[in-house]
Amino acid sequence: MLYQLWGKGPHITVADVDRSYTVVYIHGAGHCGSTLLNLLLNAHSQVVGISEFSTIHNILSDKPEKSEAKEILESDFWKSVIIQFQHRFGEPLLSDKNLTKLTDWSEYLSWGKQANHHFQSVSRALFDSIAEVSGARLICDASKFLLPLHLLISSGLPAKVIHLHRDGRAVIQSYLRKGRSFEASFVRWGSAEIGYLLLSHWLPSNDVLYCRYEELAVCPERELRRICAFLGLDYEARMLTEFPTIEQVGIGGNRMRFSASADIALDEAWKRELSLKSRILFWWKGGWIQWPLSLWAALKGH
Long-range Cβ pairs for the range 262-267 (8 Å, 24+): 264/36, 264/216, 264/217, 264/220, 264/240, 265/217, 266/214, 266/217, 266/218, 267/170, 267/217
Q: Is residue 9 in some structural domain?
A: no
Q: What is the mean pLDDT of the chain?
A: 82
Q: Is residue 1 in some structural domain?
A: no
pLDDT at 19: 79
**pLDDT tens sequence across 24-51:** 999 999 999 999 999 999 999 999 999 8
Name the domain count of the chain.
1
**pLDDT tens sequence across 204-239:** 989 999 999 999 999 999 999 999 999 999 999 999
Q: Is residue 14 in some structural domain?
A: no
User: At residue 122, does pLDDT exceed 70?
Assistant: yes
Q: Is residue 3 in some structural domain?
A: no
**pLDDT tens sequence across 62-121:** 554 455 666 777 889 989 998 998 888 888 776 666 666 555 666 666 666 666 777 788
CATH number of the domain that residue 213 is part of? 3.40.50.300
247: pLDDT confidence band, cut at 50, 70 and 90?
confident
pLDDT at 289: 84
pTM comes to 0.86
User: At residue 61, does pLDDT exceed 60?
Assistant: no
Q: Is residue 198 in some structural domain?
A: yes
Q: Is residue 32 in some structural domain?
A: yes
- Higher-confidence residue of 46 and 295: namely 46
Q: Is residue 83 in some structural domain?
A: yes
pLDDT at 90: 84
5: pLDDT confidence band, cut at 50, 70 and 90?
very low
Q: Is residue 42 in some structural domain?
A: yes
- Residue 197: give the domain boundaries: 19-299
